Amino acid sequence: NAGVTQTPKFRILKIGQSMTLQCTQDMNHNYMYWYRQDPGMGLKLIYYSVGAGITDKGEVPNGYNVSRSTTEDFPLRLELAAPSQTSVYFCASSYYRGRGEAFFGQGTRLTVV
Amino acid sequence: TQLLEQSPQFLSIQEGENLTVYCNSSSVFSSLQWYRQEPGEGPVLLVTVVTGGEVKKLKRLTFQFGDARKDSSLHITAAQPGDTGLYLCAGAGEGDSGYALNFGKGTSLLVTP
């Protein structure tokens, strides 16, 4: 049972480059989320989705884009990477909105230089 | 965004000691969750509390939800080195604000033998 799978685990980007962080879940959850985690700052919500074809902005969406074409996949796109996007990114999914248990992937550690 | 304040931010104790971590907000939450995160991993759910005044126990961990559903505490009895990790509280808002969890900044706990 894979749960939530994120790829890649580590990545170094140069300023101005673009990349897509992949996230897939096999639990048939409707709700999916992208968070970023900076040291001492907890987890901040970037984007979330309540089902295929529906996405919405979270607290810190600038510089990111998402799509949700299937229930399983929720990729996060970084356009024109900036040093401020250096962070650890977590994808999560849940069966119930908000109050339901969120299952997290192992994270992607991204460094922009 | 509904803010959650966690205290203390860091805690270093010796094996066998007791400790309490606090999670406070000025907002009302429909539920509050506690997660534990180990280095290089995503957060893993410990408990969800839903009812004001609710107390839940998980072995040596005791979780309490405030009567007004604005705050929570985590008490660990006789801490073990295996309890070392980052403890995060997360709240689900009510209504439309309840689509995703808002996380506190976390309490980093180190238990030394």
Summarised one tens digit per residue, pLDDT across range A15-51 is: 999 999 999 999 999 999 999 999 888 899 999 999 9
- Rounded mean pLDDT, A66-72: 97
Q: Under a CB-based contact definition with an 8 Å cutoff, are residues B89 and A102 in contact?
A: no
Instruction: Using the Cα atoms of residue A24, residue A26, residue A28 and residue A33 in order, give the sign of their dihedral.
Output: negative
Interchain CB contact of A110 with B (< 8 Å): no
Q: Under a CB-based contact definition with an 8 Å cutoff, are residues A25 and A11 in contact?
A: no
Q: How far is CA B10 from CA A9, A104, B32, in A?
A: 27, 23, 21
User: What is the number of other CB atoms lying within 10 angstroms of the CB of residue B15?
Assistant: 13
Q: Give residue-wise pLDDT tens across range B38-84.
A: 989 999 999 999 999 999 999 999 999 999 999 999 999 999 999 99
Confidence of residue B37 (pLDDT cuts 50, 70, 90): very high
Give the three-class secondary structure for A35. Answer: strand
Nearest to B103 among A40, A43, A105 (CB): A43
Interchain CB contact of A4 with B (< 8 Å): yes
A35 to B103: CB separation less than 8 angstroms, yes or no: yes
B48 to A101: CB separation less than 8 angstroms, yes or no: yes
Q: Smallest CA–CA separation between A68 and chain B, in Å?
A: 16
A97 to B48: CB separation less than 8 angstroms, yes or no: no
Nearest to A42 among B33, B45, B106 (CB): B106
Q: Which residues contact B64 (CB under 8 A, 6 or more apart)?
A: B49, B53, B54, B55, B56, B72, B73, B75
The Cα B103–Cα B89 span in angstroms is 6
Measured between CA atoms, the residue of chain A closest to residue B93 is: A98
pLDDT computed for residue A97 by the predictor: 75
Q: What is the mean pLDDT of chain B?
A: 92
Confidence of residue A1 (pLDDT cuts 50, 70, 90): low
